[in-house]
Amino acid sequence: MLNPASDAFIAHLRTLLPPQAFRDATDAVLSEPRGRWRGQGHPIAPATTTEVATLVAACAAARVGIVPFGGGTGLVGGQIMPADESNGPLPVILQLDRLRTIRSLHPTENVLIAEAGVTLRAVQDAAEQANRLFPLSLASEGTATIGGVLATNAGGVHVLRHGNARAQCLGIEAVTADGQVWHGLTRLRKDNAGYDLRDLIIGSEGTLAIITAAALALAPRPAQTGSALLAVPSPQAALDLLALARDIAGDAVTAFELIHKQGLAFLSETGLAVPPPLDPLPDWMVLIDLALPPGPTPETLLEQIAEQALARDLATDGTIAQSQSQRAAFWHIRETIPEANRRIGAVSSHDISLPLSEIPAFIATAPAALARIDTFRINCFGHLGDGNLHYNVFPAPGRTRADHDHQRSAVKTAIHDLVHAAGGSVAAEHGLGRLKVTDLETYADPVKLALMRKVKQALDPQGILNPGAVLRAP
């Protein structure tokens, strides 16, 4: 059993850490982006890896739980521990934003070493200044931190070309559950010396270790970039268009996003309206991004893709960005849809992935499964190129999500059952947090679940790291 972070324990911590590390529990650390939960805990913000290790060692000695907190943009409640028995007593909230140094940059090696609290955007900017690219890109990148994106193995819009956060990390420095520092900041691309602990800790959502710094792999900066927004007659046509685009442009296709007109309707409804990018507005659109070395322009290749798509009825209309500002306007639509969704307030949001060829059938059948429960609006959009959809279910006009509170679990089960039956994942890029602990228990291979519990027991035998997240607290 864990102990609460009592006043006496916090007084003890004050003898170990400088006064600047102690913070008030404000809304910023107690609320989560979709307003679903209110957290609890004593926020403590160490400024160095040594201070993190001191804090963790003290928590281990006193058996006090620790909830790691980066930018607080996680969507599954991993960084927020509500006060309820399944999570255990009052924890320490370990805020990592004061670990914000970019320790070194190695342009010839294409490596950057950043501390856990550096924001994703700050890393992108530092890479750009060295004429390099850090390709991980999410709508939350101004706030999300390197520790958070690695802890959740975040995805985003460039997974199709560059892989998820795991693929862009060479090494990590981490504090273990007993307060030791693992100095794993290797810059090596090849290192098969034993079990890959880096990959075990990446994606573990703060339940196996605290990430304090990471060696990140950079990519060459593309000389040219371009975008097109094409109207597609169906999700199946969008998939065929993806194949066509890759036949023509190969790995230059860096993003391929599916957008439904419901997303644009939500932009208008929530005061975020944009000029309609196509007229008439089609049901389905895809946003394609190309990144190229010097040579043929992206516009030439995008025209080729669009012409062939129109000839084969894979697209019915479209527009190719003629300037970087028009390109930014296309991406603004895509990147603002999550904010419109937040303002509308989903009954249930599903971050799912499916084998690519299963996607059209899923999109065709899911509305009927939902209609058996009630009338809803659906905003289905996302990273079609890597099989990851955000399938979000909203109240019909005139109703609120509170009207559907009693149906949330039925909605989630209907969607997740379909995804599981089609060989998909019910936690594609956001992780499990506390929101999907039961889903893991329901859908995971039982051997995998048993192995996960053994790993947790081995690395965090007292269960102090992020209690109640990913695996149910014993």
Ligand X SMILES: Cc1cc2nc3c(=O)[nH]c(=O)nc-3n(C[C@H](O)[C@H](O)[C@H](O)COP(=O)(O)OP(=O)(O)OC[C@H]3O[C@@H](n4cnc5c(N)ncnc54)[C@H](O)[C@@H]3O)c2cc1C
Q: Does 264 bind ligand X (CB under 6 A)?
A: no
User: Site size for ligand X, by CB under 6 A?
Assistant: 37
Q: What one-letter code names the amino acid at 186?
A: T
Q: Pairing mode, if any, of strands 92-95 and 66-69?
A: parallel
Binding ligand X (rule: CB under 6 A), the pick from 115, 173, 386, 429 is 429
Binding ligand X (rule: CB under 6 A), the pick from 105, 144, 370, 464 is 144
3-state SS string for the chain: CCECCCHHHHHHHHCCCCHHHECCCCHHHHECCCCCCEECCEEECCCCHHHHHHHHHHHHHHCECEEEECCCCCCCCCCCCECCHHHCCCCEEEECCCCCCEEEEECCCCEEEEECCCEHHHHHHHHHHCCEECCCCCCCCCCCEHHHHHHCCCCCCCHHHHCCHHHHEEEEEEECCCCCEEEECCCCCCCCCCCCHHHHHCCCCCCCCEEEEEEEECEECCCEEEEEEEEECCHHHHHHHHHHHHHHHHHHEEEEEEEEHHHHHHHHHCCCCCCCCCCCCCCEEEEEEEEECCCCCHHHHHHHHHHHHHHCCCCCEEEECCCHHHHHHHHHHHHHHHHHHHHHCCCEEEEEECCHHHHHHHHHHHHHHHHCCCCEEEEEEEEHHHCEEEEEEEECCCCCHHHHHHHHHHHHHHHHHHHHHCCCECCCCCCCCCCCHHHHHHHCCHHHHHHHHHHHHHHCCCCCECCCCCCCCC
Residue list 289-308, contact with ligand X (CB under 6 A): none
Q: Does 148 bind ligand X (CB under 6 A)?
A: yes
Determine the interface stretch with ligand X among 139-147, 305-313, 361-369, 444-452 (rule: CB under 6 A): 139-147
Closest CB 108 distance from ligand X, rounded Å = 28
Q: Which is nearer to ligand X, 71 or 171 (CB)?
A: 71
Q: Which is nearer to ligand X, 33 or 360 (CB)?
A: 33
Q: Does 468 bind ligand X (CB under 6 A)?
A: no
Binding ligand X (rule: CB under 6 A), the pick from 64, 96, 363, 427 is 96
Q: Does 206 bind ligand X (CB under 6 A)?
A: yes
b (16+ CB within 10 A) / e for 44-79: bbbbebebbbbbbbbbbebebbbbbbbbbbbbbbbb
Q: Does 138 bind ligand X (CB under 6 A)?
A: yes
Residue list 1-30, contact with ligand X (CB under 6 A): none
Q: Which is nearer to ligand X, 205 or 289 (CB)?
A: 205
Q: Does 152 bind ligand X (CB under 6 A)?
A: yes
Q: Does 384 bind ligand X (CB under 6 A)?
A: no
Binding ligand X (rule: CB under 6 A), the pick from 69, 134, 284, 362 is 69
Q: Does 78 bind ligand X (CB under 6 A)?
A: yes
Q: Which is nearer to ligand X, 87 or 292 (CB)?
A: 87
Q: Does 70 bind ligand X (CB under 6 A)?
A: yes
Q: Which is nearer to ligand X, 231 or 427 (CB)?
A: 427
Q: Does 92 bind ligand X (CB under 6 A)?
A: no
Of 219, 226, 255, nearest to 123 by C-alpha is 219
Q: What are phi and psi of 462, to 5 degrees?
A: -85, -10
Q: Does 140 bind ligand X (CB under 6 A)?
A: yes
Binding letters toward ligand X, positions 305-344, x by CB under 6 A: ---------------------------------x------
CA distance 253 to 385: 9
Q: Which is nearer to ligand X, 43 or 148 (CB)?
A: 148
Residue list 97-116, contact with ligand X (CB under 6 A): 116
Q: Does 155 bind ligand X (CB under 6 A)?
A: yes
Q: Which is nearer to ligand X, 140 or 379 (CB)?
A: 140
β-pair partners for 258:
286, 382
Determine the interface stretch with ligand X among 55-63, 74-82, 122-130, 299-307 (rule: CB under 6 A): 74-82
Binding ligand X (rule: CB under 6 A), the pick from 64, 93, 126, 154 is 154
Q: Does 418 bind ligand X (CB under 6 A)?
A: no
Q: Does 430 bind ligand X (CB under 6 A)?
A: yes
Determine the interface stretch with ligand X among 229-237, 252-260, 363-371, 425-433 (rule: CB under 6 A): 425-433
Binding letters toward ligand X, positions 115-134, x by CB under 6 A: -x------------------
CA distance 310 to 444: 42
- Beta-carbon-side half-sphere exposure of residue 30 (alpha carbons within 13 Å): 14
Position of minimal CB gap to ligand X: 148
Q: Does 65 bind ligand X (CB under 6 A)?
A: no
Q: Does 424 bind ligand X (CB under 6 A)?
A: no
Of 92, 185, 219, 96, nearest to 147 by C-alpha is 96
Q: Does 79 bind ligand X (CB under 6 A)?
A: yes
Q: Does 211 bind ligand X (CB under 6 A)?
A: yes
Footprint on this chain of ligand X (rule: CB under 6 A) = 33, 67-75, 78-79, 96, 116, 138-140, 144-145, 147-149, 151-152, 154-156, 205-206, 210-211, 338, 429-430, 433, 466, 469
